Amino acid sequence: MTAPLINNLYRSLHSLGEGGFGKTFLAEDTHKPSRARCVIKQLKPVVSRSEVFAIIQQRFGREAAVLESLGSSHSQIPDLYAYFEEHSHFYLVQEWMEGSPLSEVSRIPWSEQQIHRLLVDTLEVLVHVHNQNIIHRDIKPDNIILRRKDQRPCLIDFGAVKEVMSTVLDENNHHQKSSLAIGTPGFMAPEQAIGRPTFASDLYSLGMSALYLLTGHSPLEFQTDQTTGEVLWHQYAPHIPAHLRDVIDRAIQPYGQARFMNAADMLEVLQRNQASALTFPKEPNNDASQQDTPLPPTQKVSRPNSESLEPSSSSSITAKELHRRYLDGARNFRRINLKGQSLRGMNLEGIDLSGANLSNTDLRGTRFINARLVGTQFYEARMGVRNSNSRIFKGFWFVLWILVSWCFSLFTASLNVLPLLDAKTVSEVFWPLCSFLILAGPLYLKFKLKNSAIYWYVVLITVGVAIISIFFGFSLIFLVTI
């Protein structure tokens, strides 16, 4: 039996999938001699009230215009051919990306070279998407198609249209979002689950998709750190190079501010690592099936048995090595041993040092903005602040103290030439008072500037001022006496 035409134009050939917001199927355009194939998404609103339907119609048109703009400006995003509404359903007609979704490729786990290539190629698409101020919201292996003709990854099924279908009204008939989260559990970032996606949410989803291909395990199979909430996956891929492991770790941080800001940042780090590949020697790989070869045809995926994941043990690292890896994009340095090292003056914004040993470490002037320091040991670490404003402030009071001390010395000496006090009162009262005030400055700064080099400058200069003042005072007394 022939399937009925949709919009008197498209005939459905077979289903490609079905979800909570509608169906997707492969169709052909009966008005073209070539019977060109296309993908049709049939979307149904979650509510059927007339007021909501009118809002959805308006928003659907806007989102369709966005999809048309994205598809027409990038070859790895499907073109939008048409959109329409029929029988209370909304339809998108898009280009058919002939190929296989990542969820159906064979030979999992993938090699490090394949993962690196996939991340770079997909991030190039995401850079274009994020530059248009668009968030995909549903990146997962099912929504990344490996195009058959060139094996390039193509992004499909943007989540913004699904959000339109979830539109509801509150009790005051004001438009609001549905409580339905747009995304897929496991691949969806924590902030996206509560309806607050960011550009970094797409990077989280891409990182989890890379882990699926790298390990063969679904994200829901991984355990998480009970303290930090981080995904524990290293045991499933023990031979992955450190530079790629660190990039994935940063992409899947549970807190958005600890991830890359957007796709361009993550792509820059990956490409820099590729250009300096000698910096991170690759682990030997004797498995011929893991070489960087064209991706195989679609077939069922066999997954390894689940294993328990244990946190990695503490390992020593030099401060120089840490800083070099940080500049190359690494942020995960949990449980490392930096005892006795010097991180003085380093900018380590966003670094993860949870459980690290920083005992006896010089941290003066080190910047830890948005850093994660849960369980980090700081026993006898030096944490003085290097701040230009504080130096100017201390310098101001230092100069003021010198002037005050000198004035007291001159004032005390001048009392000898005035008939106000006798020499005995001057020697027994004013000279001790002046000496105390001069010495009180360094004593006070001894506590304020403990273990600081500026303290010794204060001591030397203040003593020098006192000696000069006393010499000047005695000289003045001698001259007056004569």
* Res 284 pLDDT > 50: no
* Res 288 pLDDT > 70: no
| Contact between residue 361 and residue 340 where contact means Cβ atoms under 8 Å apart | yes
pTM over 0.75: no
d(Cα 209, Cα 103) in Å, to the nearest integer? 9
Mean pLDDT lowest among 67-76, 118-127, 142-151, 438-447: 438-447
299: β partners: none
Reference 366, options 389, 354, 382; nearest CA is 382
Please give the average per-residue pLDDT across 139-145, as a whole number.
94
- B/e letters for 235-252, b = 16+ CB within 10 Å, e = fewer, are ebbeebbbbbbbbbbbbb
Reference 119, options 261, 277, 247; nearest CA is 247
Mean pLDDT lowest among 78-82, 148-152, 395-399: 395-399
Please give the average per-residue pLDDT across 375-381, as a whole number.
78
Residue 289: predicted pLDDT:
39
Q: What percent of the chain has pLDDT over 90?
A: 29
Reference 165, options 180, 151, 153, 154; nearest CA is 180
| Contact between residue 263 and residue 271 where contact means Cβ atoms under 8 Å apart | no
Residue 82: predicted pLDDT:
93
Instruction: Note the pLDDT tens digit of each residue in 456-475.
Output: 666 666 666 666 666 665 56
Reference 213, options 128, 144, 285; nearest CA is 144
* Res 328 pLDDT > 60: yes
Please give the average per-residue pLDDT across 292-310, as a whole number.
40
* Res 421 pLDDT > 60: no
Tell me the catalytic residues: 138
- Could you tell me how many residues make up the chain? 482
* Res 397 pLDDT > 60: no
| Contact between residue 177 and residue 59 where contact means Cβ atoms under 8 Å apart | no
* Res 290 pLDDT > 60: no
Residue 247 — very low, low, confident or very high, per pLDDT cuts 50/70/90?
very high
Q: Which residue has the tokens 């998404």?
A: 41
Q: What percent of the chain has pLDDT over 70?
A: 66
Question: What is the maximal distance between C-alpha atoms in the chain?
Answer: 132
Which is higher by pLDDT, 54 or 175?
54
* Res 325 pLDDT > 80: yes
| Contact between residue 76 and residue 153 where contact means Cβ atoms under 8 Å apart | yes
Residue 127: predicted pLDDT:
94
Please give the average per-residue pLDDT across 243-263, as a whole number.
91
Please give the average per-residue pLDDT across 212-240, as a whole number.
91
Break the chain into its structural domains and give their ranges.
5-95, 99-169+181-282, 313-386, 391-481
Residue 46: predicted pLDDT:
66
d(Cα 241, Cα 429) in Å, to the nearest integer? 75
Q: Kindly state the tokens that stand for 272.
A: 């820099």
Radius of gyration, CA atoms only, the chain: 35
Please give the average per-residue pLDDT across 388-398, as a whole number.
50
In the CATH hierarchy, which fold is given to the domain comprising 5-95? Phosphorylase Kinase; domain 1 (3.30.200)
C-alpha 242: how far from chain center: 18
* Res 339 pLDDT > 50: yes
Max mean pLDDT range (39-43, 289-293, 334-338, 422-426): 39-43
* Res 411 pLDDT > 70: no
| Contact between residue 226 and residue 374 where contact means Cβ atoms under 8 Å apart | no
Reference 356, options 368, 374, 370; nearest CA is 374
One CATH from 3.40.50.10800, 2.160.20.80, 3.30.200.20, 3.40.630.10 for 313-386: 2.160.20.80
Three-class HEC string of the chain? CCCCEECCCEEEEEEEEEECCEEEEEEEECCCCCCCEEEEEEECCCCCCHHHHHHHHHHHHHHHHHHHHHHHHCCCCCCEEEEEEECCEEEEEEECCCEEEHHHECCCCCCHHHHHHHHHHHHHHHHHHHHCCCCCCCCCHHHEEEECCCCCEEECCCCHHHHHHCCEECCCCCEECCCCCCCCCCCCCHHHHCCCCCHHHHHHHHHHHHHHHHHCCCHHHCEECCCCCCEECHHHCCCCCHHHHHHHHHHCCCCHHHCCCCHHHHHHHHHHHHHCHHHCCCCCCCCHHHCCCCCCCECCCCCCCCCCCCCCCCEECCHHHHHHHHHCCCCECCCEECCCCECCCCECCCCECCCCECCCCECCCCECCCCECCCCECCCCECCCCCHHHHHHHHHHHHHHHHHHHHHHHHHHHHHHCCCCCHHHHHHHHHHHHHHHHHHHHHHHHHHCCCCHHHHHHHHHHHHHHHHHHHHHHHHHHHHHC
155: β partners: 144
Residue 390: predicted pLDDT:
46
Please give the average per-residue pLDDT across 240-253, as a whole number.
91
Please give the average per-residue pLDDT across 404-431, as a whole number.
53
Residue 21 — very low, low, confident or very high, per pLDDT cuts 50/70/90?
confident
Please give the average per-residue pLDDT across 380-393, as a whole number.
56
Which is higher by pLDDT, 464 or 283?
464
One CATH from 1.10.510.10, 3.40.50.620, 3.30.1300.10, 1.25.40.10 for 99-169+181-282: 1.10.510.10
Residue 253: predicted pLDDT:
94
